[in-house]
Structure 1
């Protein structure tokens, strides 16, 4: 009875070294430890060390390589049938660039959110509405700085904090923040697009 190899891959795999081995990109499981150890160090790809980027591969490519090495082995693929190798060579982080990027994104987010809130308030004429409500309820003329404006300002800030579920390094719950969800959806869309484009090119060639 032949041994069975279970191979599991993710959609996007981060690679730090141009010489890629099977254990770098897939999770392997086999009852035969000798076969498993041989396949862990099976060369899969040799990337250009000076060309970081994303490379698409298929599980069938891995199956072909494994069968050449172990022809009597039964292979059961799990997970993604097509996946992406994201090659990012290790290097010293450029702290000045990282700090400037964080500052730029923070300022853009802050002023962008402030502009959106101000345009909404102007479009809905919230100030006039508050003055009318205050005058109808109290009978006095609003000076623009009443309990309505104060409660609205505090509630708006608290709502933003609770919605984004994040303040500094602290989170209000273990759930992912809306920003993390959107970034994950964005990454998934990019991965799907890259795999589909690669599949189309392979079909047309």
Structure 2
């Protein structure tokens, strides 16, 4: 232990960390450690606790980390930066979705999206607008101005691709899509809720080594 008396270790908790079920939670799993290789190996291998069987997620405070380091290396200098808490969740195995269920969900979403677009066009009188534009340009009446309707249909699809920034699983560029931004904001709100409401219960879910 004396070899660590003059050593200083810097700890930065991860904002969110995942651990395997039925495995001890080590410091290296939930934090970035800066120091010499020997210090990082010794400190990173410290066991902070384990998941309670009835918990899938809990909050780990930086004070728990500092207390664990102090108990094992009381002479070591410590400094922390970054988040003061980390959200730890167990990485469960996910069941593979059946192809039949995927096809059924895809059909339901496709039909629902189609009805939504048609209802929107009916509300704003899109067909009448195309007929009026055709008359203004050509001076003739047409019940089906395909010269506007066909390009508009292609433009609608291309616009959706550009809006969501994806062609199936391929991303068009590095800019996040509005859907990804909304999902990020939802995850942020969910994490904040967990921190505000689960902290007291979560600390008791960690068992001392």
User: With structure 1 as the length reference, what TM-score do the two structures score?
Assistant: 0.84
Alpha-carbon spacing, 1:78–1:98, altered in 2? closer, same or farther (3 Å) = farther
SS at match of 1:149: helix
Partner of 1:43: 47
Report which stretch shifted further, 185-194 or 1-10: 1-10
SS at match of 2:195: helix
Partner of 1:10: 14
Alpha-carbon displacement from aligned partner over 1:5-25 (angstroms, at most 9, x marks no partner): 111122211111431111111
User: 1:177 and 1:10 mapped to 2: Cα distance?
Assistant: 25
User: 1:163 and 1:172 mapped to 2: Cα distance?
Assistant: 10
Shift of 1:98: 5.2
Q: Does the 8 Å CA contact 2:134/2:145 hold for their aligned counterparts? A: no
User: 1:120 and 1:101 mapped to 2: Cα distance?
Assistant: 29
Alpha-carbon spacing, 1:168–1:147, altered in 2? closer, same or farther (3 Å) = same
Alpha-carbon spacing, 1:60–1:112, altered in 2? closer, same or farther (3 Å) = farther
Q: Does the 8 Å CA contact 1:8/1:80 hold for their aligned counterparts? A: yes
Alpha-carbon spacing, 1:75–1:98, altered in 2? closer, same or farther (3 Å) = farther
Gapped regions of structure 1 (runs ≥ 5): none
Alpha-carbon displacement from aligned partner over 1:86-133 (angstroms, at most 9, x marks no partner): 1124x4x533x3545644553444333323222211111111111122
Partner of 2:207: none
Shift of 1:52: 5.4
Alpha-carbon spacing, 1:133–1:34, altered in 2? closer, same or farther (3 Å) = closer
User: 1:100 and 1:7 mapped to 2: Cα distance?
Assistant: 48
User: 1:156 and 1:112 mapped to 2: Cα distance?
Assistant: 16
Alpha-carbon spacing, 1:171–1:141, altered in 2? closer, same or farther (3 Å) = same
Partner of 1:30: 35
Pairwise CA RMSD of aligned residues?
Answer: 2.3
SS at match of 2:167: coil
User: With structure 2 as the length reference, what TM-score do the two structures score?
Assistant: 0.83
1:82-121 aligned within 5 A? 82-89=85-92, 91=93, 93-95=94-96, 97=97, 99=99, 102-103=102-103, 105-121=105-121
Gapped regions of structure 2 (runs ≥ 5): 203-209
User: 1:94 and 1:4 mapped to 2: Cα distance?
Assistant: 44
Partner of 1:137: 137
Greater RCO, 1 or 2 (C-alpha within 8 Å, sep 6+): 2
